[in-house]
Amino acid sequence: MTHVRTHARQRPIQVVAHRGASEDAPEHTLAAYRKAIEDGADALECDVRLTADGHLVCVHDRRVNRTSNGRGAVSALELADLAALDFGAGRTRAFWRGRDEEPDWQVRPEDPEDTSVLTLERLLELVADAGRRVELAIETKHPTRWAGQVEERLLELLKRFGLHAPASPEASQVRVMSFSARSLHRVHAASPTLPTVYLTQFLTPRMRDGRLPAGAGIAGPSLRVVRGRPDCVERLQRTGHQVHVWTVNEPEDVDLCIGLGVDAIITNRPGAVLRRLGR
Ligand code: G3P
Ligand code: CA
């Protein structure tokens, strides 16, 4: 059965660069985010973790082994330790393609800062200097381990940039995403107008009925969920929730998301998705 959207879209589909333009440059680096902005991405996705000395850095894995020339857990390293590593040295592109080979990046970083560890603060500066509105979708990693510290630091930092308490969720330039409902609940309790995205790899019975956990405003199902239950998109939207789908890279999957009228496509290939959308 083919599922297509039956009610009119309010806004264009947002294109969100997953870890930056992470097929063209090493993920979570300035190089990848600059490329995503150049490509025209509407928003940038990043994962954040706390270092041993309390800085929020943009690193996906618990350890730095895959994405840098170093070893060890982010939570056990200080920012100065991470700053000594090269995050352009990882196997990231090959990882996405499921092959164990040296990456062949389209973007060749010239400045060491382009591939050094990226703090969330530096990413916020990049967004502030973008010259156009670029949104930020920040995913909290391991929020249970740190018992509220990730969210606390995140909100402190957003406050410094004047982004912590938007007039409304619709007006917000930033949203917080998590697989942890508890993390989103903390953010929502501290800043009720900051949009929150509940990420899931399976469809809970509650979501099947179009409902999300308390504190979550937007649904973030994986592509696999949407492929298996495409009707969930309209169900969630009819109960007032936007639907942001990850990680959508192949043309046929982009077409599926367009046909279903999802609200945001989170992709490693923002340029290609924008072209597919005719933008
Ligand atoms: O954007 C959501 C997506 O990033 C969640 O999965 O593992 O890539 O952080 P992961
Ligand atoms: Ca993520």
Q: Quote the ipTM score.
A: 0.99
CA distance linking residue 192 with residue 188, whole number of Å: 5
CATH of span 14-276: 3.20.20.190
The per-residue pLDDT for 97 is 66
The per-residue pLDDT for 146 is 67
The per-residue pLDDT for 110 is 79
Q: Pick the catalytic residue: 60, 142, 188, 241? A: 60
The per-residue pLDDT for 262 is 98
* 246 alpha carbon – ligand 1 mean position (Å): 7
The per-residue pLDDT for 1 is 43
Domain map of the chain by residue range?
A: 14-276
Which residues are within 8 A (CB) of 67 and not within 5 positions of it... i.e. 6 or more apart?
26, 27, 28, 59, 60, 61, 87, 90, 91, 92
CA distance linking residue 9 with residue 6, whole number of Å: 9
28 is catalytic: no
Whole-model pTM? 0.94
Kindly give the parts of the chain with pLDDT less than 70: 1-10, 91-102, 143-146
Which residue's C-alpha comes closest to atom 1 of ligand 1? 246
* 246 alpha carbon – ligand 2 mean position (Å): 9
Please work out whether the CB of residue 39 comes within 6 Å of at least one atom of ligand 1. Answer: no
At 255 the three-state DSSP class reads: helix
Please work out whether the CB of residue 219 comes within 6 Å of at least one atom of ligand 1. Answer: no
Q: By C-alpha distance, which of 8, 5, 124, 7 is closest to 58?
A: 124
